[in-house]
Amino acid sequence: MDYDALLGNAVAGLKQEGRYRYFADLERICGKFPRAIFRGPHGEREVTIWCSNDYLGMGQHPKVIAAMHAALDGTGAGSGGTRNISGTTHYHVELERELADLHGKDAALLFNSGYMANEATLSTLARLMPDCVVLSDELNHASMIEGIRNSRCEKQIFRHNDLADLERRLAQLDRRRPKLVAFESVYSMDGDIAPIAEICAMARHYGAMTYLDEVHAVGLYGARGGGIAERDGVLDQVDIIEGTLAKAFGLMGGYVAASGVVIDAIRCHAPGFIFTTSLAPVLAAGALASIRHLKGSSEERDKQQERAAQLKSMLRRRSLPVMDSASHIVPLLVGDPVHCKRMTDQLLDEFSIYVQPINYPTVPRGTERLRLTPGPLHSEDDLRQLVEAIDLLWQRMALDRAA
């Protein structure tokens, strides 16, 4: 059996469809973000990044860098093991307290990534509650889908942000049966926002727990960066909040925050937590500094929202098809994977602008797009250069304009 041929055919199929994933060799320049050094086939050059999830540039903030240097000098590089054996440091303890406070919960639990937090928590909670049914928004992240699948419990998928469909499904379930409604606050590909208050009220009415993924909102919304739930004044109505340290906070890792009992159940039963070496203390220290800074500073959040609004307006003035987005995410519809990849290649080759194409299965076929994430460190000149380059390539490639 020629296994290389079998697997090679699978890869070749992706290339033929224009969905093969190429990784750019980038080296971010501390102190100059969103600039980076791109190493390509024709040498090195400086480029501007327009698709980073380091939404606020906190990965290079002086307070974060200083805290990480101090932790590295004081404790060394690694954590030493799993949390149970030897991998719980005082940095981990402090960070979990800070996260619990951020979301107004009793406790929090760290994971090595947001993906791990979702998969481990959802698979564990649903499994621990006999005959549980999970109601999941149809646009939930792959990590949530995987966690629900691994729980082996019943799953019902409700239409995206559709309160009527969710209520219809909840009303048909036995009120005595354990139920968990899983959804996101900001959906990262379309940039739309869930009606959190209404979903929580409905869940309470039908006796269901709520699980809210805030990864694209923590640090970015609310007076202290607690996410959309904080912005909307409904932190106390959400049972479990999941977040990340790898986007607005600029580091790496994920977490969940909830009541002490819920966190203890996950801590004691989730294999994805129990058997994993803990985050390096240097990462926990950097995240701690980032969260504390953003709890007291709205400057970065305000500037990011300003830049996002400017970019949407500039693109629309040129009749470029910006998708409706109530958040900081700016999706630009291309609608074809080959054109999407060609557009990003030419932006990089001709204009030193780095954007990744977003293709299936991340988004449905026919909705391929550029996902632009303007931040507080992009200048107005950066905005103009980006829009002019996209407009020129749009015309050259004869792509459809917005009506």
CA distances from 272 to 100, 119, 134, 149 (A): 20, 8, 20, 15
Residue 150, C-beta contacts closer than 8 angstroms, at least 6 positions apart: 119, 122, 123
Residue 303, C-beta contacts closer than 8 angstroms, at least 6 positions apart: 375, 376
DSSP state of 240: E
3-state secondary structure 15-76: HHHCCCCCCCCEEECCCCCCEEEEEECCEEEEEEECCCCCCCCHHHCHHHHHHHHHHHHHHC
Residue 189 CB neighbours (<10 A):
19
H helical segments located in 232-379: 260-269, 271-274, 281-296, 299-317, 337-351
| CA pair distance 403, 393, nearest whole angstrom | 18
Catalytic site residue 15?
Answer: no
* Active-site entry in 179, 247, 312, 341: 247
| CA pair distance 157, 327, nearest whole angstrom | 24
Cβ proximity of 131 and 110 under 8 Å: no
Tokens of 135: 């109601």
> Helix, strand, or coil here: 94?
helix
CA 213 to chain centre: 9
Q: Is 299 left (phi over 0), alpha (psi -120 to 50) or beta?
A: alpha
Which residues are paired to 193 by β-bridges? 186
DSSP state of 322: B
Q: What is the set of active-site residues?
A: 247
